[in-house]
Amino acid sequence: MPQFETLIIGSGLAGLTLAIKLAERQKVGLITKRSLLDGASGWAQGGIAAVLSENDTLDAHIQDTLTAGAGLCDEAVTRYVVEHGKAAIDWLIDQGVPFTKDSSTDVGYHLTREGGHSRRRIIHAADATGHAVQETLAMRVLRHPNITVLENHMSVDLITGRKLGLEDNRCYGIYALNSLKDEVVTISAQNIILATGGAGKVYMYTTNPDTSTGDGIAMAWRAGCRVANMEFIQFHPTCLYHPHAKSFLISEAVRGEGGILKLPNGTRFMPGHDERAELAPRDVVARAIDFEMKKHGLDCVYLDISHQSDEFLQEHFPNIYARCLSLGINISKEPIPVVPAAHYTCGGVVTDLHARTDVENLYAVGETAYSGLHGANRLASNSLLECLVFADAAVRDILNKPPHASPLLPAWDESRVTDADEQIVISHNWAELRHFMWDYVGIVRTNKRLQRAQHRIQLLQDEIGEYYTNFHISSDLLELRNLVLNAELIVQSALLRHESRGLHFSKDYPDTLANPQPTILSPGIC
């Protein structure tokens, strides 16, 4: 049985940061269900928001975050994250992350501006910040003698005291499916950290990678953790619309550098929806695009940055420029076809300022967690910042804890299951789930649509539960099981919010309440 002082589940920015910092004093295990770099962090284009310039202030960044969050950000958490922003960026620079330099600024790096920000404060590595950060940190993880990386290991479930028949409900380890050997292994650890990302694949159209199946949220819920604000799914306004472009994001920074949203006839429409026009927060822009597409019967709208020079575009957006050009779109001469797509899970597992969950020894960091930072709508480029700041908070909490005795963990029991005779049930249910979530629980919602989705979710859960109980598990089955549970949490949360706020817009409750509260769901212990 593999044993670690701390086990990290997930290899995005949160997971890699945790591993590097903890390995200074601990033996660390890091498992990821595919390869080390297969995660959403590596897809981040825009950058990381932090107060770095003399022309910016902590209060301005805090206020921008609170405004975007539409009254549901935890102000103390927001201040904590913003105040630790510069230290987080300095740490990345020390690790060797190649941020884009600019000698004309007072910080020596180019800072861009994105929707919802009142200042230029986004530090970036061209238009592939996530990739640059992940590549840099992954090399350090792979070379560290105190870090064991287990790729192609899909978490099945957490092992808690309650599940072992003990009086406490601490987390002692996990069961994980080794996908290459098709066997379930038991892994023991003093501390377990969920850094598995969000649940974007619950929707038909998403900017997320295939790994974003809400695994950490589902496992934490089954272990007895509360979740919060799952109704707030951020739809990125500008995903490339092209039959051969799967989940390719057109960065917020394109609008930050002057990109204009237009109808097919060239008419600009954002000023008619919000005085901030293209620089309004993402929820506003996504709803505006959705409105215009439905009003005019459009498959997409267009983002025009062609007024910038070819040299400017290749310098600031080399990956977007090259990807679009490979599909026959020259962004220096023609607009980019775009549509909204599911992008970020603003809710998640409830945590405190130390990233601790309701289950002792279990932590959650990044998109898996609900820290209180994002409220009803995440401010652009605050996500990677949250990963860095709360990873550091979790590290300090873990290193200050005394060790505890762990029981002997039982092996995975599959003595009463058989091989599945066919896999069509999994693929069919996966497709059905993503279709009806897009149709019924998308950018604009109604009670009737939500209730239809809820009914279908229950039918799917019954089928999947029977399949999980009777047959050998697979990665596809585990991901589907977790996605359906995330869908249930999203719909249940949406039905409980009787107002429209931020990313949740209901035709039945179009008004905004005066005293908003987070939507907190509490599970029974399974």
Q: Please choose, from the candidates 4, 3, 18, the residue with its C-alpha nearest in 3D space to the C-alpha of residue 195.
A: 18
H helix count then E strand count, the chain: 14, 20
Are 355 and 293 part of one and the same domain? Answer: no
Report pLDDT digits (tens) over 263-278.
999 999 999 999 999 9
- Whether residue 180 is predicted with pLDDT greater than 90 in this model: the reply is yes
In a domain, 413, yes or no: no
Q: State percent of the chain over pLDDT 90.
A: 84
Angle between helices 475-496 and 447-470 (to 10 degrees): 150
Write down the mean pLDDT value for the chain: 94
Residue 345 sits at φ, ψ, to 5 deg, of -95, 105
- Look-up: residue for tokens 């649940």? 199
| 392 close to 178: Cβ distance less than 8 angstroms | no
In a domain, 516, yes or no: no
In a domain, 180, yes or no: yes
Are 227 and 246 part of one and the same domain? Answer: no
In a domain, 383, yes or no: yes
| 177 close to 53: Cβ distance less than 8 angstroms | no
State the Cα–Cα distance between residues 246 and 249, nearest whole angstrom: 9
Are 116 and 198 part of one and the same domain? Answer: yes
Residue 330 sits at φ, ψ, to 5 deg, of -95, 100
Residue 526's pLDDT is 40
State the Cα–Cα distance between residues 525 and 225, nearest whole angstrom: 9
- Whether residue 181 is predicted with pLDDT greater than 60 in this model: the reply is yes
Are 252 and 174 part of one and the same domain? Answer: no
Are 392 and 310 part of one and the same domain? Answer: no
Residue 167's pLDDT is 87
Q: Which amino acid is at 171?
A: C
CATH of the domain at 443: 1.20.58.100
Are 14 and 77 part of one and the same domain? Answer: yes
Are 212 and 244 part of one and the same domain? Answer: no
Number of domains in the chain: 3
Report pLDDT digits (tens) over 293-340.
989 999 999 999 999 999 999 999 999 999 999 999 999 999 999 999
Are 133 and 279 part of one and the same domain? Answer: no
In a domain, 101, yes or no: yes
Are 335 and 428 part of one and the same domain? Answer: no
Question: Active-site residue 162, yes or no?
Answer: no
Measure CA 190 to chain center: 26
- Whether residue 405 is predicted with pLDDT greater than 90 in this model: the reply is no
Q: Where are the alpha helices (DSSP H) in 192-297?
A: 215-223, 252-256, 282-296
In a domain, 248, yes or no: yes
Are 261 and 394 part of one and the same domain? Answer: no
Residue 231: partners with Cβ closer than 8 Å, 6 or more residues away: 347, 490, 493, 494, 496, 497, 503, 504, 519
Residue 43's pLDDT is 76
| Alpha carbon distances (Å) from 368 to 48, 200, 513 | 18, 11, 27
In a domain, 222, yes or no: yes
Report pLDDT digits (tens) over 19-67.
999 999 999 999 999 999 888 888 777 899 999 999 999 999 999 999 9
In a domain, 278, yes or no: yes
Question: What's the Rg (C-alpha) of the chain?
Answer: 22
Q: Please choose, from the candidates 457, 490, 471, 469, the residue with its C-alpha nearest in 3D space to the C-alpha of residue 424.
A: 471
CATH of the domain at 350: 3.50.50.60
Concatenated DSSP letters of 126-191: TT-HHHHHHHHHHHHHHH-TTEEEE-SEEEEEEEETTTTT-SS--EEEEEEEETTTTEEEEEEEEE
Residue 302's pLDDT is 98
Are 350 and 479 part of one and the same domain? Answer: no
Q: Which amino acid is at 20?
A: I
**Residues spanned by the domain of 334:** 238-342
| Active-site choice (121, 282, 449, 481) | 282
Report pLDDT digits (tens) over 68-123.
999 999 999 999 999 999 999 999 999 999 999 999 999 999 999 988 899 999 99
Are 227 and 242 part of one and the same domain? Answer: no
Residue 100's pLDDT is 96
Measured at the alpha carbon of residue 103, what is the angle toward residues 97 and 107, in degrees to the nearest 5? 65
Residue 162 sits at φ, ψ, to 5 deg, of -60, -40
Residue 45's pLDDT is 78
Report pLDDT digits (tens) over 344-358.
999 999 999 999 999
